[in-house]
Amino acid sequence: MTRKHWFFVLALLALMALALAACGGSSSATQAPAQEEAAPAEKATEAPEEKETEEAEEAGGEEDLVKKGEELFNQNPLGSNAGCVTCHSLEPGVQLVGPSLAGIATTAAERVPGMSAEEYIRQSILEPNAYVVEGFPEGLMPAYTDLSPEQVDALVAFLMTLK
Ligand code: HEC
């Protein structure tokens, strides 16, 4: 073989080595995504049954009303506003955006002379600016005027248990 031939053979070998390296690289890159497709597509089976029983319970006395009130209190959002829980803790002394409502049934009785605790709580929900708790700005708590009278009753009944 001549020198020219050797050169040709070497060049060919070099090309093959390059081609192999490229293949090796790309084949390992194409293998990875194949596994990801095995994700399970379940989760579409949730029964929307709860609502009706909740409403049927409404006539079921004070205890149910309190329970419903507690649920509403923890619901977020509530109607078209942020839920009560976003601003009110039920732990004594824990101030979020608004005052803690621990013991509110007791506090409420003393807020406005001549107004019962129940009336005061109801007013706090529907007209929060009628009486503004000292140390808090007016207009921060939204008025929950889009709640039904039953929902307001339930919230009041729940808060009246926090003595
Ligand atoms: C965006 C925050 C915010 C949300 C949401 C909120 N509140 Fe308030 N709330 C306040 C602030 C601030 C005050 C104190 C100022 C005032 O009296 O308006 C307050 C005051 C009160 C008071 C009077 C407390 C007292 O010590 O006299 C009651 C009762 C009350 N809120 C109940 C509720 C209930 C029930 C909900 C849900 C239906 C609710 N709040 C949602 C901010 C909020």
Give domain limits for the chain: 59-159
CATH of domain 59-159: 1.10.760.10
pLDDT at 153 over 90: yes
> Greater confidence, 12 or 154?
154
CA of residue 141 to ligand 1 center, whole Å: 5
Residue 152 Cβ contacting ligand 1 at under 6 Å: no
- Ligand 1 centroid, distance to 129 Cα (angstroms): 10
Q: How far is the CA of 107 from the centre of ligand 1 (A)?
A: 13
Given a cut of 50, is residue 26 above it in pLDDT?
Answer: no
Q: pLDDT at residue 34 above 50?
A: no
Cβ contacts of 85 within 8 Å, gap of 6 or more:
73, 74, 76
pLDDT value of position 8: 57
Average pLDDT over residues 44-63: 59
Q: Write down the pLDDT at residue 61.
A: 87
